[in-house]
């Protein structure tokens, strides 16, 4: 006869053993090393660091390996680790103007101080599958830049010199920057919190939203003012010292979109900005983020909110892929208690429906008999 | 890199760091002070997915101590996979004693059910909550629903019940049935069947609700009024079952339907497996409890 | 009528950037009085209505409302809780487009009953009886009570919206082009109905319309707006029969005789 489903524990253990086996794959092949992942799948590692919001290539590579290449699972692993780390303090804002630039392009100027620097980009590659790559051909060594480097002021600073673009957002002295990982979000959000949420938001979701603004759903006339990729110092203030300490360097991608703005009651006509900053090399994400950031400033800039990308609650509540995947996937957990309740209700309503129908049929018969 | 990987397994008692626990305890205290009010808290990423009980796990992790005895149920049962997984998690990170017996537990974490056996003073029932906002499906905006709670604008809740009656002749909400707590806040009891709603009313146990993804904690302190919304002329009713539990013969308990074959054969058995086993141990028998079932 | 107005409007201005929404508007509204605000689109009449009904905050000016206890309260200084309570009990707002004022996916009965439930009525039978009564008063057959407004014609929707607003016995109703999107024959029937209800219930109302015929039929007094300013105000018959301001003269002469 019926025996309650025992042995959940054993089933789970066995499932995890099988998972570990599948993760290893063909045992005749060498296992992939974290170093290989970090150096050869570095953009995957960058995405995991960025959306996992933890800058650690080694751990991110481990997460990619453990997740069998499932990006969102890897991001989740990194997040779950990050959340257990103690918080020592907050760094100074990174100075992207002082970046050691590896790539820098501007769509708004033909040439500019420091020049355009293509760097390691997929742009202008022909997307033809490369059979040589399948056979481990060694690529030629890259050209190294000559040492003499011109300063590379940010395009936004160039525009700002003329007063044509809004200033960098500046916070009042006494305002602590928000931290969405430590404080519950409250809508409407401040822009610092919003940018944090976007920076770790899902690349695909932001990409689609950014794309939607270009197609007219909340259009904001963007120009890619500048995209720069490179390394910046991470500095922290120590109470006893009167100069900041450098903790190390991280690679980031920054995008500044320059957008038209007609001006408002308080502000003269000028360019406004959408801002994107992410860990590692991810132009797509940084650009999508800056489009979304600008769209979400609709309220601040007195623009009509008509499109999904401008709707703060909608965008911020749904951009986190760790939250999204958890809730979508939780549907596979047992729900049979509630389903039982619904089963009972549907049966009851069907009974009532049949009774009404039979009642109506009997009425008709009676009427017909009486006529 | 190795320095990192070596350290990864170092976690605090009950996983969360003490700072985080203090933050969550403050939220819990506030929730107890304002019964039924959803307190925002800075929910952490947990090592299980959002939607799988991260809120309940954070609440449990913040209130559990070394002397506690933990019971975890999902769908009323101790042995469903997610219950097993969460119980194993706490065994691993807190090394606490676990039990399947409702009466022996000091903390019971649950998804979708309230145990049949009445809870006692000193026990804590921790609910896993997916969507804490009872108004969410009537009004999707957080900014608006918070305002509605603040101003006690709950007319819309009754519009939903009115529609049920107008269409079906009776209220057609079967689970996550909204309640009013201590005459003030309308609260979502989590997706428990409405069968369990009366158990919340004037319960001797402390009831804590954690919604991790939605970052909310709320509470019903012991001996608090919990009233299911209804109309004077269409009072709240719970589900009834036509037959007793096939294993223990229990009535007035919530039953799961188990499909036996593909020809419509089925049986109804207790959803609360611990209660069912206890009754059978006492010698109660249902019509399908053969010797195999007793083993 | 008492010797005090229901609503005192003083110097209401609303600017959108440098553009004027409405500028320096003052008037009193008396109990039982229907005031029409007429003008072309862009004249600022809807901005004014939204300011008066606190759906929009004016740039400057005050509006005070005489509560049921006789005390005047400054609308813009009320707490949101008080304002929202006022909105769903003592006031009504009839939108031009009924779908803005109705819940399109719940039944007609629930649409009418919502305000009752919002103020604490908990007897299904009573709520339904009141809803049935109100549907009758706006000439909607009681066998449509469980139908959703989606299944209603434009005129029925508008009448349902009116019933939904009047069920709590408000003293003041704001209407924004209440006959806007309707056929002429349907308009006439609705105006007739509105006139009857306003008279019967002794309602005060502020009706925004571009249609002088609506003003003629419904209102006692009217103000004419252009570019955010009041160009003329007075008793409706006087303004329409003997317009003083050149703009009003133009407006009156440009339509068919009513």
Residue A18 lies in a domain: yes
3 state SS of C149: helix
Distance from CA of A195 to the nearest CA of B (A): 17
Out of B53, B245, B250, B286, the active site residue is: B245
Whole-number pLDDT of residue C183: 84
Whole-number pLDDT of residue A304: 85
> What is d(CA B254, CA B199) in angstroms, rounded to the nearest whole number?
12
| CB of C117 less than 8 A from some CB of B | yes
Last residue in a domain, options A59, A82, A105: A82
Q: Do B215 and A3 touch (CB under 8 A)?
A: no
Residue A131 lies in a domain: no
Sign of CA dihedral B50, B51, B55, B56: negative
> Does one domain contain both A22 and A117?
no
Which pLDDT band, with edges at 50, 70 and 90, does C257 fall under? low
Whole-number pLDDT of residue A168: 75
Here the contacts of A189-196 (C-beta below 8 Å, separation 24 or greater) are A189/A312, A189/A316, A191/A293, A191/A297, A191/A300, A194/A293, A194/A296, A194/A312, A194/A316, A195/A275, A195/A277, A195/A289, A195/A293
> What is d(CA A65, CA A74) in angstroms, rounded to the nearest whole number?
8
> What is d(CA C101, CA B113) in angstroms, rounded to the nearest whole number?
40
> Does one domain contain both A109 and A215?
yes
> Does one domain contain both A114 and A26?
no
Reading the block at residue A115, the tokens are 């020049």
3 state SS of A246: strand
> What is d(CA B286, CA C2) in angstroms, rounded to the nearest whole number?
76
Whole-number pLDDT of residue C256: 54
Residue B276 annotated as catalytic: yes
Last residue in a domain, options A309, A326, A343: A326
Q: Over 80: is that where the pLDDT of C38 sits? A: yes
Whole-number pLDDT of residue A111: 86
Which pLDDT band, with edges at 50, 70 and 90, does B280 fall under? very high
In angstroms, the Cα distances linking B204 to B110, B221, C25, C171 are 17, 8, 61, 48
Euclidean distance between the first and the last CA atom of chain C, given in angstroms as a whole number: 29
Q: Over 50: is that where the pLDDT of B4 sits? A: no
- Pick the residue from chain B with its C-alpha nearest to A5: B79
- Pick the residue from chain B with its C-alpha nearest to C145: B166
> What is d(CA A265, CA A267) in angstroms, rounded to the nearest whole number?
6
Lowest mean pLDDT segment, chosen from A164-178, B67-81, B107-121, C67-81: A164-178
* Domain architecture of chain B: domains with CATH: 2-228 (3.40.50.11310), 240-288 (no CATH)
> Does one domain contain both A105 and A254?
yes
- Pick the residue from chain B with its C-alpha nearest to C111: B159
In angstroms, the Cα distances linking A168 to A125, A296, A303, B182 are 35, 17, 20, 49
| CB of C144 less than 8 A from some CB of B | no
Last residue in a domain, options A288, A306, A326: A326
| CB of A265 less than 8 A from some CB of C | yes
B11 and B93 Cβ atoms separated by less than 8 Å: yes
Strand order in the sheet with C72-74: C19-29, C7-16, C60-66, C72-74
> What is d(CA C113, CA C167) in angstroms, rounded to the nearest whole number?
8
> Does one domain contain both A58 and A154?
no
Distance from CA of C29 to the nearest CA of A (A): 32
Strand order in the sheet with A245-259: A100-105, A222-236, A245-259, A272-279
β-bridge partners, C176: C208
Helix H or strand E encompassing B108: strand B107-111
> What is d(CA B124, CA B205) in angstroms, rounded to the nearest whole number?
6
Residue A365 lies in a domain: no
DSSP codes, A206-232: HHHHHHHHHTTTT---EEEEEEEEEEE
CA B220 to chain centre: 12
CA-based nearest residue to B216, from B83, B55, B86: B55
φ, ψ for residue A245, nearest 5 deg: -95, 140
> Does one domain contain both A296 and A237?
yes
> Does one domain contain both A75 and A113?
no
Residue A184 lies in a domain: yes
- Count of domains in chain A? 2
Residue partners of B97: CB distance under 8 A and separation at least 6: B68, B69, B70
Q: Which residues of A touch B45 (CB under 8 A)?
A: 76, 79-80, 82-83, 322
Q: Do A345 and B43 touch (CB under 8 A)?
A: no
Q: Over 90: is that where the pLDDT of C19 sits? A: no
Residue A74 lies in a domain: yes
CA-based nearest residue to A293, from A258, A338, A342, A341: A258
Residue partners of B152: CB distance under 8 A and separation at least 6: B184
Q: Do B147 and C85 touch (CB under 8 A)?
A: no
371 residues of chain A, pLDDT tens digit each: 333 345 677 888 899 999 999 999 999 999 999 999 999 999 999 999 999 999 999 999 999 999 999 999 999 999 999 988 888 888 999 999 999 999 999 998 888 888 899 999 999 998 999 888 888 888 889 887 766 677 889 988 888 888 888 887 777 778 888 899 888 888 999 999 999 999 999 999 999 999 999 999 988 889 999 999 999 999 999 888 899 999 999 999 999 999 987 776 667 788 999 999 999 999 999 999 999 999 999 988 888 899 999 999 999 999 999 999 999 999 999 898 999 999 989 999 899 889 988 888 888 888 777 76
> Does one domain contain both A207 and A253?
yes
Q: Which residues of A touch B271 (CB under 8 A)?
A: 337, 340
> Does one domain contain both A73 and A102?
no
Q: What is the per-residue pLDDT across B6-54, written as a single tens digit (0 to 9) for each?
A: 444 467 899 998 989 999 999 999 999 999 999 999 999 899 999 899 9
Q: Which residues of B touch C122 (CB under 8 A)?
A: 158, 230-232
Q: Over 60: is that where the pLDDT of C224 sits? A: yes
C225 and C43 Cβ atoms separated by less than 8 Å: yes
Residue partners of A265: CB distance under 8 A and separation at least 6: A302, C15, C17, C18
Sequence-ordered alpha helix ranges (H) in B34-173: 54-63, 81-94, 142-150, 155-168
Residue B210 annotated as catalytic: no
> What is d(CA A244, CA A242) in angstroms, rounded to the nearest whole number?
7
> Does one domain contain both A263 and A118?
yes
β-bridge partners, C60: C13
Residue A294 lies in a domain: yes
Residue A78 lies in a domain: yes
Q: Do B174 and A345 touch (CB under 8 A)?
A: yes
Q: Do A336 and B75 touch (CB under 8 A)?
A: yes
> Does one domain contain both A107 and A249?
yes
Residue partners of A204: CB distance under 8 A and separation at least 6: A321
What is the residue range of A61's domain?
Answer: 13-82
Euclidean distance between the first and the last CA atom of chain B, given in angstroms as a whole number: 52
Out of B212, B250, B276, B286, the active site residue is: B276
Q: What is the per-residue pLDDT across C158-175, written as a single tens digit (0 to 9) for each?
A: 999 999 999 999 999 999
ipTM for the whole complex: 0.86
Q: Strands B266-270, B185-187: parallel, antiparallel or unpaired by DSSP?
A: unpaired
| CB of A348 less than 8 A from some CB of C | no
Residue B51 annotated as catalytic: no
Residue A335 lies in a domain: no
Q: Do B43 and A184 touch (CB under 8 A)?
A: yes
Q: Over 70: is that where the pLDDT of C204 sits? A: yes
A253 and A281 Cβ atoms separated by less than 8 Å: yes
> Does one domain contain both A153 and A52?
no
C208 and C45 Cβ atoms separated by less than 8 Å: yes
Reading the block at residue A244, the tokens are 């900041």
Q: Do B163 and C110 touch (CB under 8 A)?
A: yes
Q: Do B231 and C115 touch (CB under 8 A)?
A: no
If you average pLDDT over each of B24-38, C100-114, C213-227, which comes out highest? Answer: B24-38
């Amino acid at each position: 006869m019926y025996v309650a489903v025992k042995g959940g524990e054993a089933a789970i253990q066995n499932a995890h053993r099988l998972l570990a086996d599948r993760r290893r794959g063909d045992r005749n092949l060498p296992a992939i090393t974290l170093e290989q992942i970090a150096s050869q799948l570095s953009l995957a590692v960058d995405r995991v660091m960025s959306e996992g919001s933890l800058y650690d290539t080694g751990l991110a590579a481990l997460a990619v390996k453990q997740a069998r290449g499932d990006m969102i699972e890897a991001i989740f692993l990194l997040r779950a680790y990050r959340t257990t780390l103690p918080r020592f303090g907050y760094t100074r804002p990174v100075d992207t103007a002082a970046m050691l630039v590896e790539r820098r392009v501007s769509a708004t100027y033909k040439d500019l101080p420091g020049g355009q620097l293509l760097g390691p980009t997929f742009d202008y590659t022909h997307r033809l599958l490369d059979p040589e790559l399948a056979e481990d051909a060694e690529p030629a060594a890259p050209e190294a830049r000559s040492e003499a480097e011109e300063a590379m002021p940010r395009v936004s600073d160039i525009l700002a010199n003329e007063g044509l673009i809004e200033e960098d957002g500046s916070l009042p002295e006494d305002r602590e920057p928000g931290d969405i990982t430590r404080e519950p979000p409250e809508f409407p959000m401040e822009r610092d919190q919003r940018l944090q949420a976007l920076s770790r938001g899902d690349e695909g979701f932001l990409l689609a939203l950014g794309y939607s603004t270009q197609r007219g759903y909340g259009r904001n006339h963007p120009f890619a003012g500048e995209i720069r990729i490179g390394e910046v110092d991470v500095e922290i203030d120590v109470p006893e010292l009167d100069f900041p300490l450098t903790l190390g360097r991280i690679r980031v991608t920054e995008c500044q979109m320059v957008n038209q703005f007609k001006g408002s009651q308080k502000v003269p006509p000028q360019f406004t900005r959408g801002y994107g900053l992410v860990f590692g090399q991810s132009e797509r994400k940084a650009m999508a983020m800056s489009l979304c950031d600008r769209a979400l400033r609709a309220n601040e800039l007195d623009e009509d909110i008509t499109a999904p990308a401008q709707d703060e609650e909608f965008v911020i509540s749904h951009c986190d892929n760790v939250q999204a995947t958890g809730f979508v996937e939780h549907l596979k957990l047992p729900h049979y208690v509630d389903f039982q309740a619904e089963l009972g209700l549907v049966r009851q309503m069907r009974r009532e429906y049949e009774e009404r129908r039979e009642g109506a049929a009997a009425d008709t018969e009676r009427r017909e008999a009486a006529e | 890199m190795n320095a990192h990987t070596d350290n990864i397994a170092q976690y605090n008692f009950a996983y969360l760091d003490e700072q985080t626990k203090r933050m969550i305890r403050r939220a819990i205290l506030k929730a107890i002070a304002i019964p039924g009010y959803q307190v925002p808290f800075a929910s952490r990423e947990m090592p299980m997915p959002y939607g799988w009980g991260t809120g309940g796990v954070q609440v449990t992790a913040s209130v559990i101590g070394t002397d506690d005895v933990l019971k975890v149920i999902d769908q009323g049962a101790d042995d469903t996979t997610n219950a097993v997984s969460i119980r194993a998690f706490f065994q691993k990170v807190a090394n606490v004693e676990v039990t399947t017996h409702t009466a022996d537990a000091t903390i019971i974490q649950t998804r979708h059910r309230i145990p049949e056996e009445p809870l006692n003073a000193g026990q804590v029932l921790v609910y896993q909550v997916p969507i804490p906002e009872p108004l969410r499906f009537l009004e999707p905006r957080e900014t608006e629903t918070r305002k509605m709670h603040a101003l006690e604008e709950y007319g819309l809740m009754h519009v939903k019940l009115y529609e049920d009656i107008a269409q079906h002749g009776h209220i057609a909400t079967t689970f996550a049935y909204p309640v009013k707590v201590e005459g003030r806040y309308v609260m979502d009891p989590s997706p428990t069947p409405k069968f369990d709603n009366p158990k919340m009313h004037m319960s001797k146990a402390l009831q804590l609700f954690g919604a991790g993804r939605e970052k909310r904690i709320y509470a019903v302190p012991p001996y608090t009024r919990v009233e299911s919304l209804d109309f004077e002329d269409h009072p709240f009713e719970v589900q009834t079952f036509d037959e007793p539990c096939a294993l223990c013969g229990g009535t007035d308990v919530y039953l799961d339907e188990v499909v036996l074959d593909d020809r419509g054969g089925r049986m109804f058995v207790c959803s609360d497996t611990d209660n069912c086993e206890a009754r059978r141990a006492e010698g109660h028998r249902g019509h399908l409890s053969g010797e195999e079932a007793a083993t | 009528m008492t010797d005090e107005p229901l609503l005192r409007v003083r110097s209401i201005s609303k600017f959108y950037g440098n553009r004027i929404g409405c500028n320096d508007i003052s008037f009193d509204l008396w109990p039982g009085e229907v005031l029409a605000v007429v003008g072309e689109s862009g004249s600022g009449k809807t901005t004014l209505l939204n300011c008066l009904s606190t759906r929009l905050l004016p740039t400057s000016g005050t509006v005070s409302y005489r509560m049921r206890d006789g005390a005047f309260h400054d609308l813009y200084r009320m707490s949101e809780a008080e304002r929202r309570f006022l909105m769903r009990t003592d006031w009504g707002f009839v939108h031009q487009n009924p779908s803005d004022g109705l819940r399109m996916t719940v039944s007609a009965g629930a649409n009418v009953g919502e305000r009752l439930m919002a103020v604490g009525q908990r007897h299904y039978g009573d709520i339904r009886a009141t809803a049935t009564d109100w549907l009758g008063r706006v000439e909607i057959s009681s066998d449509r009570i469980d139908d959703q407004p989606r299944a209603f014609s434009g005129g029925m929707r508008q009448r349902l919206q009116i019933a939904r607003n009047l069920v709590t016995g408000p003293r003041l109703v704001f209407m924004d082009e209440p006959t806007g999107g309707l056929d002429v024959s349907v308009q006439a029937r609705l105006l007739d109905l509105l006139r009857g209800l306003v008279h019967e219930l002794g309602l005060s109302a502020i009706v925004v319309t571009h249609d002088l015929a609506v003003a003629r039929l419904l209102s006692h007094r009217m103000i004419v707006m252009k570019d955010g300013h009041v160009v003329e105000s007075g008793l409706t018959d006087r303004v329409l029969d003997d317009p003083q301001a050149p703009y009003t003269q133009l407006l009156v002469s440009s339509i068919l005789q009513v």
